[in-house]
Amino acid sequence: MTDYRRLRSDAGLADLQEWTRFDLSGPEACDALDDVVGCNVRDLFEGRAANTLIPSPAGGVDAIVWVIALEDGFRIVGEPADREAVRFALEESASGRDAMLRDIRDETFALALIGPEAEKVAWKAFGDDVHSIAFLNVLPLGDPAVLAARIGYFGEYELHLFGAAARKQAVIDALKQAGGGDALMVGEDAFPVMMAEMGTVSRKRDIPPEVSVFEAGLHWMIDFRKENLRSAGVLERRKHAIDRKCVLMIIDGDAADLRGQPVFIEDCDIGRIQSAFHSETLDRCVALAYLAEDLGMPGLSCAVGADRRAGRTVSAPAFLGRSITDNLG
């Protein structure tokens, strides 16, 4: 079974050791974080998580992060490539304040248990408390001790687990024993296509520096009523100057070499493919493309690349994962 198939139909455990993790604590941690991220951190209660971004000075995206509210501060989690951007923004905001920033990547582990059967595996390993963790909620679990967060990227049940580095192997062993043995472990190779299928963008892969928050379709991550919203003036201007839109596409043929290829309707060049992957579920390429603002929408037939391969724009997500459809009844 491929890692992709395991994650979409069963359960897989991924080691996210390299992923970004910072803890921000102290009396002014909330102020320091709220000045940096788009969401309203003051509305985030202990035990809750929010998906948000750090706006760039140009109205683009410096980083996409999950913010987790803890008893004594906040944990900021993101993809590996966003680590330095997160560190820079938080260090700058915390300096001169009574707030302490710690890069906890090397002293902690990060694991993600993913897939429609993942909750069952977690329940066998950690007990009934697992069932009480709703999406966007966070709960400490005991023996082996972890902080469990229901956050996600792939449209499946995902339980992200954090704990002391010294306890990592014990947690992995407990989860392997609970389900699948060594076969439970998966790599990250399937992540890009699974993200693309859900229309989930990666800052590094999918958002060029010139693209605005609005063009990337991420403005839902921002509370525009915040008085301290970072880059507020630029964001307001770029809200009314949208040149392109990020759109999900399904394309015939092979995904190789599609990145950067033009998208046409008849002979009119309407945009470019940003990233493309082969989807086992769809048996087609799934791609994220930036198309002209007036045509950046689902329901269009297009031709892609010099060989004019057939493609169409679709609504995201491209399908619902089994974790969701199984619960729809």
Partner 1 sequence: MINTLVEARAYAGRRKELTHRLKKTLVERLDLDRQIDEIPDDCLLFGVGLGLDSVDALEIVVAVEGEFGIRVEDGDMQEIRSVNSIVDLILSRQTREENV
Query: In terms of DSSP bridges, do strands 268-279 and 158-164 run parallel, antiparallel, or are they unpaired?
Result: unpaired
Considering the complex, state which of residue 91 and residue 220 has its C-beta at the smaller distance from partner 1.
Answer: 220
Cα–Cα dist 269/263, whole Å:
6
The tally of CA atoms less than 13 A away on the side-chain side of residue 16 is 24
Considering the complex, state which of residue 177 and residue 327 has its C-beta at the smaller distance from partner 1.
Answer: 327
Q: Note whether 268 binds partner 1 by CB under 8 A.
A: yes
Using CB under 8 A, count the residues that bind partner 1: 34
The tally of CA atoms less than 13 A away on the side-chain side of residue 62 is 19
Q: Note whether 306 binds partner 1 by CB under 8 A.
A: no
Per-residue contact string for residues 42-71; x = within reach of partner 1 by CB under 8 A: ---------x--------------------
> By C-alpha distance, which of 107, 134, 152 is closest to 7?
152
Minimum Å gap between C-beta 233 and partner 1 is 16
From candidates 181, 301, 306, 307, binder to partner 1 by CB under 8 A: 301
Cα–Cα dist 313/301, whole Å:
7
Q: Is 136 in contact with 150 (CB distance < 8 Å)?
A: yes
Tell which positions 19-38 bind partner 1, by CB under 8 A.
Answer: none
Stretches 10-18, 74-82, 83-91, 211-219: which one binds partner 1 (CB under 8 A)?
A: 211-219
Q: Note whether 72 binds partner 1 by CB under 8 A.
A: no
Q: Note whether 248 binds partner 1 by CB under 8 A.
A: yes
Q: What is the CA radius of gyration of the chain?
A: 20
Sheet of 20-25, strand order: 49-55, 61-70, 73-78, 20-25, 100-103
Binding footprint of partner 1 on the chain (CB under 8 A): 51, 135-136, 152, 199, 214, 217-220, 222, 224-225, 239, 245, 247-248, 265-266, 268, 294-295, 297-301, 312, 315-317, 320, 325, 328
